[in-house]
Amino acid sequence: GDSVTQKEGLVTLTEGLPVMLNCTYQTIYSNAFLFWYVHYLNESPRLLLKSSTDNKRTEHQGFHATLHKSSSSFHLQKSSAQLSDSALYYCALSEGYNQGKLIFGQGTKLSIKP
């Protein structure tokens, strides 16, 4: 079945360094959508960005990701980490049209240190 893999459970970085959170997926659907959701402590998870277009960079709130269907990847990046970026980040997959269910990865906790 469809699946999403986030290999890093915890990423710890110093403020100002670049961020890269890895996400790979498996699906049989050619029109799948990929998402990043962010879950800050004491808040609800919310959408950060999404894409279904191959090789197109998607940006929001300083983060960006590019869907690469050839390698089934959708890594999340940011050029310079801020303390406020500390949160739990989930990569998710929607299987295709008329399928609202999202398949989430295990999540990566990003911890930014001063």
Partner 1 sequence: NAGVIQTPRHKVTGKGQEATLWCEPISGHSAVFWYRQTIVQGLEFLTYFRNQAPIDDSGMPKERFSAQMPNQSHSTLKIQSTQPQDSAVYLCASSPLGGLSAETLYFGSGTRLTVL
Binding site for partner 1 (CB under 8 A): 6, 31, 33, 37, 43-47, 50, 52, 90, 92, 94-107
Nearer to partner 1, 43 or 114 (CB): 43
* Those residues with Cβ within 8 angstroms of residue 80's Cβ, 6 or more apart along the chain or in another chain: 16, 17, 18
Is the distance from CB of 93 to CB of 108 less than 8 angstroms?
A: no
Nearer to partner 1, 17 or 47 (CB): 47
What six digits make up the tokens of 18? 């670049």
> Shortest approach of partner 1 to residue 112 CB, angstroms?
20
Residue written as token pair 């960006």: 64
Helix (H) or strand (E) holding 50: strand 46-51
Nearer to partner 1, 97 or 114 (CB): 97
